[in-house]
Amino acid sequence: MDEKMIQSFLRIAEKMIEAGAEVYRVEECLNYMCTAYGAVRTDAFVTTSNMTLNVEKPDGSIICASRRASLSGYDMECVDRFNSLVRYITKERPSLQVINQRIEEALVYNKYKVWQVVLCSLIIAGSFSMFFGSRDIVEIALSSAIGAVMEILNQLAKKAHMNGMMIRFCNSAIFSALAFAATKMGLVPSPDYIIMGNIMSLIPGCGITSAVRDLFTGDTFTGIIRTIECMLNAASMALGYIVVAYLFGGAI
């Protein structure tokens, strides 16, 4: 085990944390891999944005390395693939070349196509409008159409590497403006159901769940970070609606 192998281990950890893996899972994976290759002691400290790894080898030498995770999201398929890779590395102890090859293979898998994501957003927006009480077919259709448009804009914003809070603010402002505009044009009696149907897809449910999970498992620092992130995302989402509601003279 050398510095290059440690960097490969950290790359696995980076991909897992960027895909939304639990902090304790990533730390355990680093410990398992280093122990499998003869480490006497492994100290891993992982947060949502940074990973530090200290490894003590049998000869007494110590390897220190760190890596920064620049992205964040939730991709359970990616987490599962790298979790399986860690189990393979721990059991088979392959060479560094094989490890790097397996990492590249784990990054290549069939993700959902854009049209599939857009279709799901369309269905979700219309369904939540109905769930909250809308029975007007025009209202439901507009909510669904706006949900599809929002997802297309969301995909473009992600490709442009926009900040997550800015994406939520813009999405909230745009679909609120479209809902108020539809009301002003007389297409729907009220913008409420359209806004409620589309705002549900912006609520950081996975982030809140991850924050609570980290707090309960003892990763207090990471749990607090994720909680603050969720609060800021929710605040930016609410601010987008408030700005548009003020401009259109609607109720806040």
Share of the chain above pLDDT 90, in %: 47
DSSP assignment, residue 132?
T
Q: How far apart are CA 166 and CA 162, in angstroms?
A: 7
What strand order describes the sheet that includes 50-56?
41-46, 50-56, 62-68
DSSP assignment, residue 111?
P
Residue 62's closest CA among 34, 91, 25? 34
Burial of residue 114 (number of CB atoms within 10 Å: 0-12, 13-18, 19+): exposed
Q: Express each pLDDT in 178-191 by its tens digit.
A: 999 999 898 888 88
Q: Express each pLDDT in 9-65 by its tens digit.
A: 999 999 999 888 888 889 999 999 999 998 999 999 988 888 899 999 888 889 999
What does R_g of the chain's alpha carbons equal in angstroms? Answer: 22
Q: How far apart are CA 229 and CA 56, in angstroms?
A: 35
Q: How far apart are CA 251 and CA 249, in angstroms?
A: 7
Q: Express each pLDDT in 67-102 by its tens digit.
A: 888 767 788 888 999 999 999 999 999 999 999 999
Give the CA distances from residue 33 to residues 219, 247, 251, in Å, rounded to whole numbers and listed in that order: 21, 56, 56
Q: What is the mean pLDDT of residues 118-122?
A: 92
Residues 6+ apart with CB under 8 A from 251: 245
**Confidence band, pLDDT 50/70/90 cuts, at residue 250:** low
3-state secondary structure (DSSP) of residue 250: coil
The domain segmentation of the chain, as residue ranges, is: 3-106, 114-248
Cβ–Cβ < 8 Å for 78, 64: no
Phi, psi of 95, rounded to the nearest 5 degrees:
-75, 165
Q: How far apart are CA 47 and CA 68, in angstroms?
A: 9
